[in-house]
């Protein structure tokens, strides 16, 4: 799917899934570049969030559970990151919150499911409904 462009980053536990997705989609890899050294997911969430904001793009974050990446990314004003375990999660994240980052759990998401989630995330448009715009405005405060 050539229309999938954006950034991807992981910690050491998410490295295998990041590597899998990079073989499937043309994503810009922001690290980590090895699973052999323990790293803090916060560093990669912050890095990716800054790139997404600067480039007005989308991104994918991956760690073991997804929790650390999700929390860290959402501390950036203008970022709406959401942990997705299903295709439906990705669909609603885009339609209802105009999510610009999806977070995946390397421990609980198989490669084939992650691929489907990413496809749905990048192919789904924000619904643009007034109630969702109002809520996003409050989130971005």
Pull the structure tokens for residue 129.
């409904």
Distance in angstroms (rounded) separating the CA atoms of residues 106 and 94: 21
Burial (CB count within 10 angstroms: exposed 0-12, middle 13-18, buried 19+), residue 23: exposed
Active site residue 85: no
Q: What is the pTM of this model?
A: 0.95
Domain boundaries, the chain: 6-140
Sheet holding 101-105, edge to edge: 27-29, 6-10, 59-63, 101-105, 81-83
Q: Identify the active-site residue in 3, 76, 85, 96.
A: 96
For the chain, list the strands marked E by DSSP.
6-10, 27-29, 59-63, 81-83, 101-105
What lies within 8 Å, CB to CB, of 27 at 6+ separation is: 4, 5, 6, 7, 8, 21, 60
Q: What is the pLDDT tens value at each position of the chain, 141 positions in all?
A: 446 679 999 999 999 999 999 999 999 999 999 999 999 999 999 999 999 999 999 999 999 999 999 999 999 999 999 999 999 999 999 999 999 999 999 999 999 999 999 999 999 999 999 999 999 999 887
- Domain spanning 6-140: CATH superfamily: Sugar-phosphate isomerase, RpiB/LacA/LacB (3.40.1400.10)
């Amino acid at each position: 799917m050539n229309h999938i462009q954006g950034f991807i980053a992981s910690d050491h536990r998410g490295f295998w899934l990041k590597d899998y997705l990079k073989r499937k989609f043309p994503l810009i890899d922001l690290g980590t570049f090895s699973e052999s050294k323990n790293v803090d997911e916060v560093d990669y969430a912050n890095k990716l969030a800054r790139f997404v904001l600067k480039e007005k793009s989308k991104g994918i974050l991956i760690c073991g559970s997804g929790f650390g990446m999700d929390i860290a990314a959402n501390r950036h004003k203008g970022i709406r990151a959401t942990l997705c375990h299903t295709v439906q999660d990705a669909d609603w994240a885009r339609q209802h919150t105009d999510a610009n980052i999806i977070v995946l759990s390397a421990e609980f998401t198989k490669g084939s499911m992650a691929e489907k989630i990413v496809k749905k995330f990048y192919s789904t448009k924000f619904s643009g409904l007034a109630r969702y715009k109002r809520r996003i405005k409050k989130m971005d405060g």
